[in-house]
Structure formats: C-alpha cells, structure tokens
Amino acid sequence: VQLVESGGGLVQAGGSLRLSCAASGFTFDDYAIGWFRQAPGKEREGVSCISSSDGSTYYADSVKGRFTISSDNAKNTVYLQMNSLKPEDTAVYYCAAIERAITIATMTGEADFGSWGQGTQVTVSS
C-alpha cells in the first residue's frame, strides 16, 4: 500500500490549498481515508476523514466550514480542499488509510489506520 500526498505549500492567511492523497496497492472500493496534521511541538491530530462504506465524513471542529474532503474513486485519490486558511493550520499534513469497509461511527481513532503517507508541509503566513 502506498499513499502519496501532494499540494502543500506556503499560502497567506485567508488563502486556499487543495491537498491530494493518491492511493495504490489496494482495491479502492472499501476504505476510509483520513487526513491528520502535526504542528511543531504538538501531537498529531485528526482533521478529516471519509468512508467509502456510507459516504460519511468527519471534520475536526477547528476546520468545520473551511475544509472539505472528497474522493475520486476513478483516480484512487482523496482530496482535502482547505479554504480560509489560518496560521494555526500550519503543520505537516498526512493521509492515512483503512483498507476495509468501515464507517466513521465505528472508528476508534488513529490506531485504526494501517497505512500512512510521508506528509506534505502546509505553511500559512499571517
């Protein structure tokens, strides 16, 4: 299984970025893909998640209304559209996969995710 993130970069506050997570090595039918982030000196936190089982999505309170997760099964890719970015969104963003059918309601947390990408840096300047 391979997950490759892209789309990070430097943006001014209020700007937008779209992150991509390209997946390979597993059947992109039953899965959940999550986006996590880790800022310097802070613990990694879950940002958003999407489940193919029921189409459900999850957003952390800190990004609700600003970030949107979506998937393109034909391209085996999950996207994270990030709008109205804030300096506190600065972090390394990782995507991670659960390679089986699972709903967001049944997830227990980060430990559910068995495969991780290498991360992409997002820096938001004030």
Tell me the mean pLDDT in the region 59-88. 97
Q: How far apart are CA 32 and CA 21, in angstroms?
A: 12
CB 8 within 8 A of CB 37: no
> Tell me, what's the pLDDT at 108?
84
Tell me the mean pLDDT in the region 104-117. 91
Q: Is 17's pLDDT higher than 90?
A: yes
Q: Is 28's pLDDT higher than 80?
A: no
Q: Residue 39 — very low, low, confident or very high, per pLDDT cuts 50/70/90?
A: very high
Cβ contacts of 79 within 8 Å, gap of 6 or more: 18, 19, 20, 21, 69, 70, 71, 72
What is the number of alpha carbons within 13 Å of residue 22 lying toward its C-beta?
A: 5
| Structural tokens at position 83 | 């709008």
